[in-house]
Structure formats: structure tokens, C-alpha cells
Amino acid sequence: MAAEGDHIRRYNYTGEDDEVPDDVTHITVDASVTVITEEAFYDHLNIVEVICDLNVKGVGRGAFQYCYSLRRVIMPGVEIVEEHAFNFCEALTDVECGKLERISEYAFKYCESLMSIDLPSVRIVEENAFWGCKALTDVTFDSKLDRIEGGAFSWCPFLERITIPLKDGLITHDDIFTGCENLDHVDLVEGELHETVAALQLEEWRNEMNEEIDSINQILPTVYAGSGWDDDGMEYEDGEKAQAIRMWIGSVIGKIIHYQAEHQRLLDEEVATTLQLALPRDIVMNSVLPFLYLPSYTFE
């Protein structure tokens, strides 16, 4: 919000035919708008806040590009942010986007004041989406995340922690975390995986799974992050953190599948046999065994 004494001019945006005054500071996007059009607020240097109605579903290409003073964006219904939408919004610190599903390439590139972002509904993060967000330290996804593409978090040097689901194919390129020299902690989304591990038959299995899950946080601090440009000043050298995370995901998935099978084998060979000796078979099959099965967990 504007500080006391600052000039405030509010504007209600109703669509692509609007001519937005240059001195506008606070934007509300009307309920009649479903998509903020391409470059609608491009290079408007005085905008500090944007609040979208729930009916707004999309932010067009470059809609807020070069809005250097923009600090706060509230977009509760937006599902897609197109490429370059908030590129070079260097003052942006607060983004609320609970229904956002797709972040297109370069959408938040060079948002150099953004420190953390919560993305509970995001499925796809496209190439270079958060490239060069120098203040970013913490990114939280939920179980809906399917894919992070190349360079998505490259050159976020203070990124320390990211929360992701355990999914094969999630980490698509080796350069996703290039230049993220402080990235040393990956959390898994709370939910079925943790329930499955907790329900494993033997303590030894549970301990080994928990050690495997935590191993990435021992590995990442030692992994090369990538640095610099080549002799022609054109390209940087990819780091190895994305590759380490991808390999870790594969290892965790492999181990949990193995122990699920072992758990089921014990259930079939020992627990079921013991119960069948003590109870009529129909009671065992219909009432007892269902409570012994592991919580289901699938790796999409």
C-alpha cells in the first residue's frame, strides 16, 4: 500500500478498450473482465497494487511488464499467467494466486524483490518463469504440480528451500536450478507418502525410508550449482542440483514401491495366515484385512 503522503490514484479496469492513465497507482480489475489483455499495463511506472475480481481467469502476455513500482498482486481466480506477464516487476513482494495452474515462460523473470511464493494449484512452471529472482528464498508447491521446465529458477542465488510432490518426470531439465548456490533443502508435500511410510510393517523399513527422504538435504549443499558465462559471454554452465533432485525422486519412488511390495508380502504370508487360523474366513476378508493395507500412493 502507498505510504502516508504518497500520491494515490485508483482505477477500475474494465477491459482492452481502457486507456489507463499514466499516474494510476492502484488498479482494481472489474468482475466483467475474464482476461487482462496483452500489455494492458505495460511500462506503467506508478502502479503499486493490483486487485483482481474472482472472475478474472488469465493475465495476458506482458500485461504488467516493466511495472517497476508494482508491489502487490491479488489474483484469487487467475488460472494462467502468460509469458512475460510480470517481467521486470522489480518491487513485487506479495503475490496471492491460490487458483493459478500454469505459469508461462519468463512470467516472473527479474522480480528481484520477491522473497517467497505459495503456489498450491500450479501444475506447470514453464521455462525461465522465475529466472533471476534474486531475493527469492522459499517456494511452496502442492500435490498438483506436474512439471517444472528448463531454467525455471535459474539464477535465484538465495533460494534455500522448495516444497514439491514426489512425482516422476517433475524435474525436466538439468538447468532448472542453475545458479541456486544456496538451495540446500527440499521438502515433500505432506500427505499420502508420509502416511504410507508411517504404516510400513517394520520399523527398519520406516527408518530407511525416512533416511532416504531426508538424504537430499545432505546431498544438495555439496552439489555444484553452476556459474558464469562461457568465453563468448553467451551461455552459463548448467549446475547439478536439478539432476540430483531428479535422481533422488527416482530413488525414493523405487524404495517405497519395494517396501510396499514387501509389506504386502508379509501381510499375505504372515498376518493373513494368523488371522485365518483364529477367525472365520469371511470376517477376515471383509472386516479385518482392509485395515491392514497401506494407504495407497501413486506416482503420476
What is the pLDDT at residue 229? 55
- Per residue in 171-199, pLDDT (tens digit) is 999 999 999 999 999 999 988 788 888 88
What is the pLDDT at residue 76? 98
- Counting as low any pLDDT under 50, the low residues of the chain are 1-5, 230-231, 283-285, 287-293
Single pTM value for the model: 0.86
What is the pLDDT at residue 273? 63
- Per residue in 264-295, pLDDT (tens digit) is 888 777 655 655 555 555 544 454 444 444 55
Joined grid coordinates for residue 208: 530407511
Angle at which helices 241-266 and 203-214 cross, to 10°? 170
What is the pLDDT at residue 290? 46
CA distance 91 to 112: 7
What is the pLDDT at residue 208? 95
CA distance 114 to 135: 6
What is the pLDDT at residue 236? 62
Q: Which helix (H) or strand (E) holds 119?
A: strand 116-119
What is the pLDDT at residue 17? 79
Task: Please name the fold of domain 10-197.
Answer: 3.80.10
Alpha-carbon torsion, ordered 150, 225, 130, 45, to 10 deg: -140
What is the pLDDT at residue 207? 95
Side-chain-side CA neighbours of 78 within 13 Å: the count stands at 25
Q: What are the residue boundaries of the structural domains of the chain, listed by start?
A: 10-197
* Percent of residues, the chain, with pLDDT higher than 90: 72
What is the pLDDT at residue 199? 87
The number of beta carbons lying within 10 Å of the beta carbon of residue 297 is 17
CA distance 107 to 90: 13
- Per residue in 213-234, pLDDT (tens digit) is 999 999 999 999 987 654 455 5
